[in-house]
Every structure is written in C-alpha cells, then in structure tokens.
C-alpha cells in the first residue's frame, strides 16, 4: 500500500506542506520542531483540511482539492498514535485498548496485547504506567481500530533510553510483521534512519 501526498496549508504567516510518494513500509517525515510535520500528518488524517492538494493512500483518494473530494476523518481508517498517548485516565488499560474497536480487525484485543508485550498491564490504570508502557497501549488502541494505515507523531518523545528501545522494537515489529504502512513524524535523525524505508525532509 502506498502514500501519495501533495498538500499545502497556510497557518498564520507560515505556509506548510509536503510532496512525496512512498511504497508501503515506514515513511518518516523528518525535520526540526515547528517545520510543519505534525500539520502534514493531521492533513493526511483529515483533522486539518489542506488549502490545496491531493492525498491518496492505497489507491483511495482521501482528499483532492481540484475534484472536491474530502473523505471524513472516521472513514479514512487511519490509526493515529499521538505524542502523548492520550489514554483515558478513568479507564483501565483493557478498556483503553478496546475503545473504538472496529469489527474484525487485524488482531483480537488479547493478540494485540500479546504482540505488544502489554498483556500483564490490562487491569492497570494509565496513571500507573511508564511512558513506554502507555505508548504501547496507545499503539494497541490504534491497531484495534481496524486501520488500513498508521500515523505516528513523535511516539518516542520524552521517553528515557530503555523505554524508547521498548517502543522502537514494537514499531519495528509492526513494520515488519503486520505490514501496515506507517507515516511517522520525528526530528531525531538516528531514529528515522533506523526505522524508515523512506525519509521525507520537511
């Protein structure tokens, strides 16, 4: 499954955008903080409408300003992993993971928990998790939404070295074993060189 993205958006006095095509695997949007990487990710997700451009994922046109196409967020089938995890504090890990569960997906909740090494955390509260554990729960929740592609916004930011390694290994397994195309944002060169098959500089 491929990404074909050409987007442009004015945000205040700044114009952000990107043009790239990538075939499957993990594609990294790389550049300094404030360059517009997350804005591009949000345009692909449908959270931020481009002023102009075209977004095609796996042959499906999600946005085309010239043709008047703008597929709603909920129909884009993107699994989004945010920088801060965004777990619901009033729900245990199990409930967080199955929130938004969509039909017969890639994995059952138990299989996703086993795959990500978090089965022992299912009855815990988010406040009791380490940063790396919380991010793996967030990845599990994205997987269970039955996505056709994943968006990851700086998922390793703020983690210590050991926790970063745990989450990075989980992302490598997703890339290599699950086969979902991933659009990944980072400003860390070593991180994207390890994970990405294609690096797009923003």
Q: Which domains does the chain have, with CATH numbers?
A: 2-201 (3.40.50.300)
- pLDDT score for 151: 96
pLDDT computed for residue 55 by the predictor: 97
pLDDT tens-digit readout, 62-106: 999 999 999 999 899 999 998 887 899 999 999 999 987 876 667
Rounded Cα distance between 102 and 74, Å, is 11
Regions of the chain short of the pLDDT cut 70? 1, 103-105
Q: What is the pLDDT of residue 38?
A: 94
Tokens representing 97 are: 């993971």
Q: Do 183 and 153 form a contact (C-beta atoms < 8 A)?
A: no
User: Nearest 5°: CA angle at 177, between 88 and 19?
Assistant: 75
The pLDDT of residue 24: 83
| Of 99, 101, 141, the residue nearest 118 (C-alpha) | 141
Whole-number pLDDT of residue 100: 76
What is the C-alpha radius of gyration for the chain, rounded to an integer number of angstroms? Answer: 16
């Amino acid at each position: 499954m491929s990404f074909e993205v050409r987007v442009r958006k004015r945000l205040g006095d700044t114009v952000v955008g990107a043009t790239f095509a990538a075939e499957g695997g993990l594609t990294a949007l790389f550049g300094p903080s404030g360059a517009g990487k997350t804005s591009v990710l949000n345009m692909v997700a449908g959270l931020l409408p481009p002023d102009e451009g075209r977004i095609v994922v796996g042959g499906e046109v999600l946005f085309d300003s010239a043709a008047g196409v703008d597929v709603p967020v909920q129909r884009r089938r993107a699994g989004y992993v945010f920088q801060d995890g965004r777990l619901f504090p009033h729900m245990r890990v199990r409930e967080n993971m199955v929130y938004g569960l969509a039909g017969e997906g890639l994995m059952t909740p138990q299989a996703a928990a086993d795959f990500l090494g978090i089965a022992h955390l299912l009855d815990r509260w988010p406040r009791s998790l380490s940063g790396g554990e919380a991010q793996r729960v967030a990845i599990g929740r994205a997987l269970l939404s039955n996505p056709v592609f994943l968006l990851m916004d700086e998922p390793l930011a703020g983690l210590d070295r050991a926790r970063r390694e745990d989450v990075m290994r989980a992302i490598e397994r997703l890339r290599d074993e699950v086969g979902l195309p991933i659009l990944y944002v980072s400003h860390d060169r070593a991180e994207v060189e390890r994970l990405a098959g294609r690096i797009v500089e923003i």
